[in-house]
Amino acid sequence: MTGALLAIVSAIFFPGIILRVKSIASGRKGPGILQPWNNIFLLFRKSSVFSTTTSYIFRLAPAVYLATICCALMLLPFPGMPSIMGFEGDFILFAYLLALGKLLFILGALDTGSSFEGMGANREALYSMLTEPAFFILFGTLALLSGHLSMHEIFSHFQFAGEFSLITGAIAIYLLVQIAMIENSRMPVDDPKTHLELTMVHEVMILDYSGVDLALIQTGTNLKFVLYGGLLANLILPVNGGWLSANVMLFFLVQAAFAAAIGLMESFRARKKLAKNPQFIVTLSSIALIGFILVLLLTRNLIR
């Protein structure tokens, strides 16, 4: 429960840190850290407008999208503390809760009958499908290395000690960062600020949403980012790191560093061509397989 609560608190500052870093990197004054949430609160005060071509699926999708992310937060452990809903193999439920929310989100885009939103939904589904193997190979690798199946036990028994575990940890950090960027439709596969219909992915899917529904989607996106930041914090932070307050500060520090890294990457990294995105995402599974083979060699399972 501690991890979920800290992730929710982190979400208050996470999108603002990204904007501030991007503003500083481009030499602009930029908005304040809380400006993204000011925009969300403004949307909550507005009513939603629905097209006559949409059905209940379109109206239900934002609430389900946010609800699945909140349920996934309940599975997020804190270093040294189990999650409120943790169990063996909980990372499978974690992944498919997020997949369920995205499924309803995609169906909501298709429900509008718009060819542009259908195009974005098609790309979103493809990117998620190609990202899924990398996520499961990564957690299978960590489970094999730690000898446990729950996220709390996996992170508790993973230690950055020895060159093999350092390499595996570096691979895991890289993959989690890239998966977070892809799942949240950020650079290099998508640009959240683009207005070119033929190259949009996430933004074209929410063109028909407004008011409270758009606020729910943006809230879910912010929580989803810190969800992956929480996984990074569990991987990096020591289990027995001293006082709880010290671990809490380190948790926020990892989240802030993750947000700053996203801002820097989006400031100095160009978006890939749409035709190159599938190849880039499949490469992540190849990198995850390298880590898996490394752990097999480390545990001598491959030799047997």
Give 55-99 as a DSSP string.
-HHHHHHHHHHHHHHHHHHTT--BTTB--TT--TTHHHHHHHHHH
Average the pLDDT over 288-303 and give the result: 77
Per the confidence metrics, is the pTM higher than 0.85? yes
Contacts of 144 (CB under 8 A, 6+ apart): 292, 295, 296, 299, 301
Average the pLDDT over 151-179 and give the result: 82
- Read off the pLDDT band of 303 (50, 70, 90): very low
Q: How many Cβ atoms from other residues are within 10 Å of residue 163's Cβ? A: 8
- Which percentage of the chain shows pLDDT scores above 70? 92
Give yes or no for residue 161 having a pLDDT over 60. Answer: no
- Read off the pLDDT band of 198 (50, 70, 90): low
* The predicted structure's pLDDT at residue 53: 85
Q: What is the DSSP letter of 197?
A: G
Phi and psi (nearest 5°) for 81?
-130, 135
- The answer to whether 10 touches 226, Cβ cutoff 8 Å, is yes
Give yes or no for residue 1 having a pLDDT over 70. Answer: no
- Read off the pLDDT band of 131 (50, 70, 90): very high
- Read off the pLDDT band of 11 (50, 70, 90): confident
* The predicted structure's pLDDT at residue 98: 92
Average the pLDDT over 195-201 and give the result: 70
Give yes or no for residue 197 having a pLDDT over 60. Answer: yes
In angstroms, the Cα distances linking 87 to 74, 83, 252 are 11, 9, 25
Phi and psi (nearest 5°) for 78?
-120, 145
- The pLDDT mean for the chain works out to 85
- Read off the pLDDT band of 304 (50, 70, 90): very low
For residue range 15-39, what is the model confidence (pLDDT) as tens digits? 889 889 988 888 888 788 888 899 9
Average the pLDDT over 72-96 and give the result: 86
- Residue 108's SS3 state is helix
Q: What is the DSSP letter of 194?
A: -
- Read off the pLDDT band of 187 (50, 70, 90): confident
* The predicted structure's pLDDT at residue 91: 92
* The predicted structure's pLDDT at residue 242: 53
As a whole number of angstroms, the distance between CA 300 and CA 290 comes to 15
List % helix, strand, coil for the chain (3-state, nearest 5).
70, 0, 30
Average the pLDDT over 204-213 and give the result: 86
Average the pLDDT over 49-60 and give the result: 87
- Residue 29's SS3 state is coil
232-246: string of b/e by CB count within 10 Å (b at 16+)?
bbbbbbeeeeeeeee
* The predicted structure's pLDDT at residue 234: 87
- Read off the pLDDT band of 244 (50, 70, 90): low
For residue range 245-291, what is the model confidence (pLDDT) as tens digits? 777 888 889 999 999 999 898 888 878 888 888 899 999 999 999 88
* The predicted structure's pLDDT at residue 96: 92
